[in-house]
Structure 1
Amino acid sequence: MTHTGTLRYHTLRFILGDQLNAAHSWFDQCDPGILYVIAELHPEATYVKHHVQKLCAFFLAMETFANELEAAGHQVCYLTLDDTKGHSLESLILAIAVRENIQTIDLQRPDEHRVLMQYKHLFEHAEQTVTLFETEHFLLPFDDIPQYFKPQHSVRMENFYRKMRQRFNILMNTDKEPEGGKWNYDSDNRNKLKAQDLNNIPAPLCFQYEVQYLLERLARHNITTIGKADNILLWPTSQQDALDLLAYFCEHLLPNFGRFQDAMTSKTPHSWSLYHSRLSFALNAKLISPMQVIDSAIARYQENDAIDIAQIEGFVRQILGWREYVRGMYWINMPDYQEQNALDAHRDLPSYFWHGDTKMHCLADAIGQSLDYAYAHHIQRLMVTGNFCLLTDIEPSQVDEWYLGIYVDALEWVELPNTRGMSQFADGGWIASKPYAASGSYIQKMSDYCTSCHYKVKDKVGEQACPLNSLYWRFMVKHRERLAKNPRIGMIYGNWDKQSDAQKHAVLQRAEWCVDNIEQL
C-alpha cells in the first residue's frame, strides 16, 4: 500500500468497509493527487459484539479492494487496527488530512444513521472542504425515498415492490402488466423439503481464504467476538467472488429457489445453505450491484426452462422489493425507529442465544448454525429466533444487538427494520400488517425439526409440551386489545374463545412457567 507522506495530495477520499464498489464513478480515472483511504477501525469492530467471521469477511474484503484499487493505478492507503488504535472515524480522517495538508475530503453517503451523524460532525467542524457523494449502488436514489415513504406511517412492501417493478421495467410484459399475470407468487413458494428432496440439494459454493493473520490481529487488539472462529473463511471477499457466487446460484440453485425458500431442515450437510444465494454479504458490502444480480438471474430464467416464473419472481422480490424497501423504511424513520417498543417488551435475551444450548430443536439448530456460519436464512431469522423473541417479550434493543452482531450481512439499515419492525412488531405495524407470531405447528409445517425435538409439538400443556404453543396463546391474549381488530388475525380469537376456562388456564399457566424459566427451555 502507498504510505502517506510520499506524495502531495489535493483530495482525501475515505471508503467505508461497506462501500467496496469498484464501479463507482470515483474510480473512472486515476489521479495521483487523490489519496484513497480504507481503514479498519476499533469503534466499528466493537459497537456491537460481532461474529468473528463477519469481522474477518469485512476486513479481508476491504484489504482485497484496496489491493485492487492500487493495482488499477490509484493511490491507496490501507490502515489496519494496528495503525488506527485510539482513533475514531472522524479523528482518523482529520488526522490524515492534516498530516498530508489535504484541503478537500470526499465521502460517500453512509448507509447507517450512526455513521452519518459522525460525518455531519465532520462537516460542521472540519476546516477542509467536505463533500458527500452518493454510493451509486441502490436502485432507488436516496433523494427519492420520501416519494415512496412517510415517517411513522405504514407502507406495505407489496405496493412499493409493484412500483419498483414498473419503474425499472423488471418482469413486465409489453402491455405493462406483470409477467405471468401475477405480481407475486409467494403462495407457490412455501414447500417443505421432503425426504426425497434432501439428496438433491446442491452443495454450496464456498471460498477458502486463510485468515489466521486476521484472527491474530483481532486477538492482539482484544476485540471480543462471538461465533465459531475458523482459519478458513467461506465468504466472498472480492467482486470476482461475488460474480462467481451469483453464477453458481443462477445455474444450480435458482431452479428451486422460490419453491423451497421458506423450508428448514437439519437432515442434510447443506441444511445451512439450501437453495439460497448467500449473496447478501457481497451485496451489502457493495462488491456487486443489485441490478447485476437481478439482470443475471432474469437472463438465466429466460434461457433455462427449468426456472419457472415463481422461482425468479421470488428472488427478484427479495432484491428489488424487500432490500430496497427496508432501506427506505429505515431512513424515513431514523432516528426514531431505534426507540420503538410498541409491545412494551423488556425481558432479557436468554443466554443460549450466545451458545445454542437449548432443548428446543428449532432454536438450537438456528442459533447453532448462526454461530457456526454467521448466517441463517430469512425464515430461520423471522420464524424461529425472531418468533421466539416476540413471544417471550425480549427487549427489542437486545434483539437488535444480537442480529446485528451475529450475521455476516448485518448492517443497521437492513437489520433494524427487519428485526424491530418485521420480526418484533416493535414499530406497531409500520412494516408488518400483523405480528409474525406462530406456534409449533408452523415450525412443523416448514421443517423437520419437530421430529427429533425434546418437546412434543402437538402438546400445549405439560412438561414436554412445545413451549411455542402456550407462548403463542399467551402473546395473543396479552395483546388482544391491539390485535383483535386486525382483519388478518382477528378470527383466531374465536378458536381461543371456544376453549373451556380450565383449558385456557392450563395453557396460560404453562406459558408463564416457560417465561419464568426461560433459561431452562
Structure 2
Amino acid sequence: MPHPTLRLILGDQLNTQHSWFQRVDAEVTYALYETWSEATYTRHHVQKVCAFFLAMRAFAEQLRAAGHQVIYRTLDESRELQLESITANLLHDAEASKAKTIGYQLPDEYRLDQELKRLSENFGGVIETADTEHFFTAREDVAKLFKGKKTYLMETFYREMRRRHNIMMEADGKTPQTGQWNYDQENRGSLPKDLEFPQAATFPHDAQDIVEMLDRNGVETIGRIADNTLNYPLTRDEAQAALADFVAHRLPHFGTYQDAMTTRLPLLFHANLSFAMNVKLIRPQEVIAAAVQAWEKRPQEITVNQVEGFVRQILGWREYMRGVYWAKMPGFAATNDLNHQAKLPTWFWTGETKMNCLSHAIGQSLDLAYAHHIQRLMITGNFALLLGVHPDEVDAWYLGIYIDAIEWVEITNTRGMSQRADGGLVATKPYCSSANYVNKMSDYCQGCHYKHQEKTGEKACPFNSLYWDFLDRHRAKFGDNFRMAFMYKTWDRYDGETKAAILERAAWVKENANSL
C-alpha cells in the first residue's frame, strides 16, 4: 500500500529545479508555513519578512500549477491554530493527513537544523532528509580542507573550487585562464564623477496584505516599505530576468567598482540577486555560468577583472562562508575575541547621525533592506568594530536589517570578517580604516559635518580617533601582525602629546556615541 508522505519546504528552499519536484506523486504533499517563530526570532526588516512570505506564496502556487499537492498556512492561520513553530505545524499536518513519512531538505541554519532533528521525539514514522541541491559544496567541505589549521584562508578554498568545478580554467584543469587567479587589486576603483549608471530592472510586488497581516499579529519590524511595494525578484522567472539584466548592463563595470560607494545610486553595478540566490530561486552554478559565458562572448566589453571579481564573490566568499559556518557552529555564535562590550548607537535604527557615510548607509538600509558589501563591511561594520560594539549587537542588527540575511551567511561575515570576533579564523587582519579610506572610495565625505582630514577637535571625523584608539588598545593582539606593521610604525611616530589628544577625542566619541 502507498504511504502518505509530508515534505517540508522552508522559506529559503524555493528551488523549483529540485529533484523532489520532477514528478507528481499523489502520495506526496508539500508543506510551507508562515510562522511566528520565523517572523520574530530576530527583529527583521519589514521588507525582509514581506519578501519571504510573498516568495513562498508564489512558489506554492507554482507547485500547485504543476500538479503537486500543497499545504500552505499563512501567519494568520498558523496563529489561529496556535501553531507557532515550523515543527508544530508539520506535526499537526502529519497527524491530520496520517502521513507515515516526513521529509525535509537539510536546513542552512543551525537553529532550524537542531529543531528538525528533534522531530523524531514526537513523530513515530519515518523521517527522510535530502540535500537542497543548491550549493557547490557540502556542509563539511571547508572543515575537511582546513583540518588542523588555525586560519581558514579563503584564497586557498577559492582556488580549490575553481579547479574542482573547472571554472575559468585552462584545459589542463590546473592553470587559471589568463594565468592569474585573483584580480582583487583591480577591484578597488573609486567612481569617476561623470560615470553613468545603467538603471537596473525592478520587479514591483504589492505587499500591502502582508504588511497588514504583520501589524494584525503584532510582529515588530524595522525599516520602511514605500507604498507597501517590494522591488526585488521573488520568483525564478524574475531572478533569471535580473541575472540577464545584470550580465547585459552592469557586469562590464562590476569588478572595477564593486567596492565603490556613492550617494547617487544604491545598487551601482551590483547584481540584485542575493535574496533570490539565498532563498534558492536561482542556483549559483547558473549565475556564474551566465557571467563567464558573457565574458567569453564579449571580452572587449567585459574584461577579466570584472568577471573574476564576480565569480570570487559567489564561488569564493559565499561558499566559503557557509563552510565556515558549519565547521564552527554553534560555538562561532559566542565568539568575542576582542572582548568588545559597547552598545550599538541608537541611530543605527534611524540613520539620524551627522556622519554622512553612516547616515546614508543606514538610511538606505532602512529604506531598501539593502546595502552592498563594502557599505556593510567598511562603513557600518568598520564603525561598530572601532567603537568596540559587542558582536551580539552587531549580529542582531545585520541579521534583521538586510533582505538577504540568513544566519549562515550573515554571522560569518559580521562576527568573522567584519568584527574579528573569531580570533582571526577568517581574516588575517581586522577590516578597519580611518576616514581616509571612506573618502577615497566614496563621495560621503563631501559636505559632511565632520572633517575627514582631522583627528582631533570638535569637527574631527570620529573614524580617525577611533581608528588609532582601536590600534592602541589592541596592540597586544595585532602589534606583531605583518599586515599592520606600517600602521603601528605610523602611530609610533606621533609624539606623546598628539597621541594623548587623539585618544582623548576617541574617549569623548565613545562616551557620546549616541549623539554623533
Q: TM-score, normalised by structure 1?
A: 0.96
Q: Which residue of 1 aligns with 2:25?
A: 31
Aligned partners of 1:330 and 1:376: how far apart in 2?
22
Taking the aligned partners of 1:320 and 1:443, their CA distance within structure 2 comes to 27
1:90–1:118: 8 Å Cα contact kept in structure 2?
yes
Match for residue 218 of structure 1?
214
2:176 equivalent in structure 1: 178
Equivalent residue number for residue 3 of structure 1: none
Give 1:33's aligned amino acid. Answer: E
**Residue identity (%):** 50
Distance 1:437 1:430 in 2: 16
2:413 maps to a residue whose letter is: N
Q: Are the counterparts in 1 of residues 417 and 426 from structure 2 also a CA contact under 8 Å?
A: yes
- How far does the alpha carbon of each residue in 1:268-298 deviate from its partner, in whole angstroms, 9 at most, with x for none? 2xx2110000111000000000001001111
State the Cα deviation string for residues 443-480 of structure 1 (Å, max 9, x = none). Answer: 00100111121000000000000000000000000000
Report the alpha carbon displacement of residue 490 of structure 1 after superposing the two structures with TM.
Answer: 2.1
| Residue from 58, 72, 75 that aligns with 2:69 | 75
Note the alpha carbon deviations across 1:230-255, whole angstroms, 9 max, x for none: 31110111000000000000000000
The corresponding residue for 1:245 is 242
Number of residue equivalences: 509
- The Cα shift of 1:193 comes to 0.7
User: 2-side partners of 1:479 and 1:262: how far apart?
Assistant: 27
Report deviation, 1:121: 1.0
Residue equivalent to 1:320: 315
Q: Which residue of 1 aligns with 2:251?
A: 254
After TM superposition, the structure 1 = structure 2 runs for residues 94-493 of structure 1, keeping only pairs within 5 Å, are 94-150=91-147, 153-175=150-172, 176-197=174-195, 200-230=196-226, 231-266=228-263, 268=264, 271-304=265-298, 305-493=300-488
Give the secondary-structure state (helix, strand or coil) at the position aligned to 1:448.
Answer: coil
User: What displacement does 1:131 show?
Assistant: 1.1
Q: Deviations over 1:58-90 (max 9, x none)?
A: 101000000000000100111100111132121
String of CA shifts for 1:473-492, please: whole Å, max 9, x gaps: 00000000110111100231
The SS at the match of 1:77 is strand
Amino acid at match of 2:397: W
8 A contact 1:41–1:81 mirrored in 2: yes
- Counterpart residue number, 2:16: 22
The question of 1:44 aligning with 2:41 is answered no
CA distance in structure 2 between the aligned counterparts of 1:406 and 1:74, rounded to whole angstroms: 34
Shift of 1:9: 6.7
- TM-superposition CA deviations, 1:365-412 (whole Å, max 9, x none): 000000000000000000000000000010101100000000000000
C-alpha deviation, 1:150, in angstroms:
3.8
Amino acid at match of 1:238: T
Question: Aligned partners of 1:254, 1:414: CA distance in 2, in Å?
Answer: 23
Q: Aligned partners of 2:8, 2:424: CA distance in 1, in Å?
A: 37
Q: CA offset at residue 100 of structure 1? A: 1.0
> 2:141·2:323 contact (CA, 8 Å) conserved in 1?
no
Secondary structure of 2:483 counterpart: coil
Checking the alignment, whether the CA contact within 8 Å between 1:283 and 1:290 is kept in structure 2 is: yes
Runs of 5+ unmatched residues, structure 2: none
C-alpha displacement at 1:143, in angstroms?
4.5
Whichever residue aligns with residue 264 of structure 1, its letter is M
Q: What secondary structure sits across from 1:38 in the alignment?
A: strand
CA contact (8 A) 1:45 1:223 kept: yes
Distance of 1:381 and 1:151 partners within structure 2: 31
Q: RMSD in angstroms over aligned alpha carbons?
A: 1.1
Work out whether residues 9 and 32 of structure 1, in 8 Å CA contact, stay in contact via their aligned partners in 2. no
Residue identity in the other structure for 2:214: L
Query: How far apart in 2 are the matches of 1:29 and 1:35?
Result: 12
What is the CA distance between 1:12 and its match in structure 2?
Answer: 0.1
How far, CA to CA, are the matches of 1:465 and 1:38 in structure 2? Answer: 52
Tell me the residue number matched to 1:5. none
Letter in 2 for 1:447: S
- Kindly indicate whether the alpha-carbon contact (under 8 Å) linking 2:3 and 2:101 is maintained by their aligned counterparts in 1: no
CA 1:430/1:13 → structure 2, altered by over 3 Å: closer, same or farther?
same
Please give the secondary structure, in 1, of the residue aligned with 2:257. coil
Deviation, structure 1 residue 28:
1.1
Q: What is the DSSP-based 3-state SS (H/G/I as helix, E as strand, rest coil) of the residue aligned with 1:13?
A: strand
Give 1:43's aligned amino acid: S
SS at structure 1 position matched to 2:484: coil
Q: In the aligned structure 2, how far is the partner of 1:333 from the partner of 1:280?
A: 23
Between 1:454-463 and 1:204-213, the stretch displaced more is 204-213
**What TM-score results when the alignment is normalised by the length of structure 2?**
0.97
Post-superposition offset of 1:152:
8.0
Give the CA deviation at 1:92.
1.1
CA contact (8 A) 1:149 1:328 kept: no
Paired position in structure 1 for 2:505? 510
Inter-partner Cα distance in structure 1 for 2:303 and 2:333: 39
Q: 1:151 to 1:413 in 2, by over 3 A?
A: farther
Q: How far apart are 1:146 and its partner, in Å?
A: 3.2
Quote how far apart the aligned CAs of 1:437 are: 1.0
* Distance in 1 (alpha carbons) for counterparts of 2:355 and 2:279: 34
1:128 CA drift (Å): 1.9
Q: CA deviation at 1:149?
A: 3.7
Q: In structure 2, what is the Cα distance between the partners aligned to 1:26 and 1:153?
A: 39
Using the alignment, how far apart are the partners of 2:267 and 2:106 within structure 1? 32
CA deviation after TM superposition for structure 1 residue 211, in Å: 1.1
